[in-house]
Amino acid sequence: MTAAASAHPGARRGWFLRRFAIAAVLAACALAVAISGNGLELIEGLLWADEVPRGSSSELYVAPNGSDRNPGTMARPFATVDRARRAVQALPEPWNRDVIVWLRAGTYELSSTLELSTGDSGKNGYRVIYQPYGYGTPRQETVALSGGTRVTGWSDPDGDGIYEARTPSGAFRQLYVNGQRATRARAPNADADDYREDAYVPIAHWDSPGYEYDADPNEGNRRIGLKAADVPASLLKLPASQLHRVELVVQRKWAQNRVRIDSLSPEGPLTYLVPMEPERALFGFGPPRIDGQWAHLENAFVLLDAPGEWFLDVDAQKVYYKPRPGEDMKAAVVATP
């Protein structure tokens, strides 16, 4: 194995925002508002902006157990960040103070994209600050904004510790359980963010090593050889329709390549993999192909054998998951991007 080939892959992180502690400069306001009939009306008892000393701030509150029909006070908070944003936009001018939108503890599940534009950027030099309640103090609350889709209704019909659930339509490539990224079923077994050397196997042989393929599209067979012992025997038995969804993930210096598998062919001590098109043709671009580069196989139900792993059956629209120790699938919060 060359020194270049043994360079260890860097960490890559998924999406699911666990802590929301932004203090975005967005807008300013002078009073809270409440929904009334078809429009907005002032809440009795609040001061107009020009009645408030310069430098002070107004406050709006949002809580997961609130209601968007509430006035946005601490006792009666809004339920969504977007409702607070719209309340700020509706405030009359002139503005004479900042406004703080306090987000109480919990997870806010977004049904659509939260968009902040120039219209949310404040006026007259005053700001709107969105931040967790108690921000900057020991009492700061933990807030999360989730753009994911919940997956519910988990069961273990076979009693083998692998749970299944129906999923929304469409494919996805990540799954989060209780805010922690799960691992797409893979070999060798490893956590999604595990970059130990034994979490990968080396490429044993590139059919066409080097940098780019020649202009001749038939140059070489463009196969990738792995040690036979590094390819689970269960993959060799898969029908083509399932094998074509299995991916080989290769760490090539500064690039990561994912190729779907067209075929697997045992040849003595090696098993050769032929990538599907267009991945097979595109493998000629990017960093050099060097024997010993790190790789792993993923995305097959037969690879689902370790806690924390999952697999999506696109055709059946079912997702399968093997819980980590201590996870209760009846209570777990499971989401996809």
DSSP element (H, E) containing 184:
strand 183-184
* 155 & 291 share domain: yes
Q: Which of 77, 112, 146 is the last residue of a domain?
A: 146
If you search the block for the tokens 């807030």, which residue do you land on? 143
Please state, in angstroms and rounded to a whole number, the distance separating the CA atoms of residues 85 and 130: 10
Q: Which of 129, 146, 163 is the last residue of a domain?
A: 146
Q: Which of 93, 117, 146 is the last residue of a domain?
A: 146
DSSP element (H, E) containing 57:
strand 57-62
Q: Is residue 23 part of a domain?
A: no
Strands lying side by side in the sheet with 98-103: 57-62, 98-103, 128-132
Q: Is residue 273 part of a domain?
A: yes
> In this predicted structure, what is the pLDDT of residue 221?
66
Picking from 185, 189, 159, the residue whose alpha carbon sits closest to that of residue 310 is: 185
| Alpha carbon 160 to its chain's center | 28
* 320 & 195 share domain: yes
What is the sign, positive or negative, of the torsion defined by CA atoms of 80, 81, 85, 91?
Answer: positive
Q: Is residue 251 part of a domain?
A: yes
8 Å CB contact between 114 and 86: no
Please state, in angstroms and rounded to a whole number, the distance separating the CA atoms of residues 64 and 78: 8
Which tens digit of pLDDT belongs to each residue from 260-316? 999 999 999 999 999 999 888 776 666 778 888 899 999 999 999 999 999 999 999
* 121 & 159 share domain: no
What does residue 10 show for φ and ψ, rounded to 5 degrees? -80, 165
What is the DSSP code (8-state) at residue 78? Answer: B
234 pLDDT above the threshold of 90: yes
Peptide bond between residue 94 and the one before it cis (omega within 30 degrees of 0)? yes
17 pLDDT above the threshold of 60: no
Q: Is residue 25 part of a domain?
A: no
Lowest model confidence (mean pLDDT) among 15-24, 32-41, 96-105, 209-218: 32-41
* 69 & 191 share domain: no
Q: How many domains does the chain have?
A: 2
- Domain of residue 126 covers 33-146
* 117 & 166 share domain: no
Percent residues over pLDDT 90 in the chain: 54
* 161 & 119 share domain: no
* 307 & 189 share domain: yes
DSSP element (H, E) containing 86:
helix 81-89
Q: pTM of the predicted model, to two decimals?
A: 0.70
* 196 & 252 share domain: yes
8 Å CB contact between 241 and 200: no
Label residue 92 by pLDDT band (50, 70, 90): confident
Q: Is residue 300 part of a domain?
A: yes
| Of 16 and 83, the one with more pLDDT | 83
> In this predicted structure, what is the pLDDT of residue 195?
67
Which tens digit of pLDDT belongs to each residue from 198-207? 789 999 998 8
Please state, in angstroms and rounded to a whole number, the distance separating the CA atoms of residues 266 and 227: 9
Mean pLDDT over each residue of the chain, to the nearest integer: 80
| Alpha carbon 231 to its chain's center | 28
* 3 & 49 share domain: no
